[in-house]
Structure 1
């Protein structure tokens, strides 16, 4: 196995690898093989969600890897529709994943578009009870994060948002950093033009493909990135992007593709 666990970023209770494996739209039956392929390729961070309906398959893939529990960072998420059954949801997730704790549990979307500090309090309680090491949110605005912090005194460790060079927004990136919140990006390729001349020229300079450049750009910034694929070759190729060393000028040029 090739280990891409580093680089990582500190979060409550440990270190979160900047390279993660996304499992959205991977069927439960296909998840064990996909997760095993990712772990074999060196990923040490697996991202799923109650809403993906594949937690059992993801758990089987993690178990089949033979890796120690502390060597795999596992994230899942609370659906907004489950805002009134917070504790039951994390217990169901742990049961399906076959784990006794999560490394990170996120509120998947603001329930009804609202920050809901009362829900966040219950998420934090699950953390205090040892069911998850770190807690965070997904698809929250800076103002909603501030609302949670002001109401509870606990700032989310992570905000998982749609992110790519095309969506790069320095105000958002700086706002999260200033609040001590890790920016985790999903769908890194979806909004990107993989034939963009800037990405192509940088890829050619490093003898890699443009998807690998996008992964490398996330890592260079210290953003967590969770590319998703169910194809073993592409899974391994995406992972290799975490080892590409971009220059400051190249990072700046890619930043220029954003807002």
Structure 2
């Protein structure tokens, strides 16, 4: 999947691995990167929470992207965390800084404080939960959108999704990832199944028509369509 040029290790490459201490997969990811034979500079690794601990777990000198996981601690702690993240970036520990699950209010507070804006906001995005107001605000302010849970946690029962999948002779997850890409999002599909991981990447040899994109867009239920933790309205 294509990342903004400022976030890519190389302009023509996008091996993006999303990690977090909460997932307990940082050490596994670092081992996989080393065993892959691919240069560290050609793998884009992101993580959440506790920078120094994450760097220790990975055994890396830097991370490409680091995110504040949520806006829940309240404004004072949010702003302190953001300033700390910027300082860590300036110290060379992180290449790019961003946030996750931030609503417009939280992003505006960063701007009003005169601080550098996030490069990324990672939020739940899929046809049932499009969060269009947040997407619109981020695009107007140059913030890339990473879409987590793009495959709706494997709930493929929607008849429109089923019909479009049959039409294009594609698995529902491939249609969902393709929908996300065509909207300019950075989808983060998750799977522990090697066949499914490969399948999720095989989405660049077809395109969903404008009419079928509109059918999927019409499934939007706003935040009510979310199937994950979605604290975008937190104080």
- 2:62 pairs with 1:67: no
The alpha carbon displacement at 1:137 in A equals 0.4
Specify the SS of the correspondent of 1:184: strand
The runs of 5 or more residues in structure 2 that have no matched partner are 222-235
The alpha carbon displacement at 1:72 in A equals 0.6
Specify the SS of the correspondent of 1:75: strand
Say whether the 8 Å CA contact 1:16–1:73 is kept in structure 2: no
- 2:223 pairs with 1:252: no
Specify the SS of the correspondent of 1:183: strand
Give 1 or 2: higher helix fraction.
1
Partners of 1:74 and 1:144 lie apart in 2 by: 25
Q: Which residue of 1 aligns with 2:172?
A: 210
Partners of 2:8 and 2:36 lie apart in 1 by: 23
Partners of 2:78 and 2:114 lie apart in 1 by: 11
Report the TM-score when normalising by structure 2: 0.85
Q: Which residue of 2 aligns with 1:106?
A: 67
Q: Which residue of 1 aligns with 2:113?
A: 151
Partners of 1:125 and 1:53 lie apart in 2 by: 25
- 2:173 pairs with 1:173: no
- 2:7 pairs with 1:9: no
Q: Which residue of 2 aligns with 1:54?
A: 25
Specify the SS of the correspondent of 1:167: coil
1:211-259 deviation line (CA, Å, top 9, x unaligned) = 1100000000110111111111111111113543112222221111103
Q: Which residue of 1 aligns with 2:52?
A: 91
1:40-72 deviation line (CA, Å, top 9, x unaligned) = xx9711001122222111110111111011211
- Cα RMSD of the aligned pairs, angstroms, is 2.2
Say whether the 8 Å CA contact 2:14–2:44 is kept in structure 1: no
Larger deviation, residues 48-57 vs 207-216: 48-57
The runs of 5 or more residues in structure 1 that have no matched partner are 1-5, 18-41, 79-88
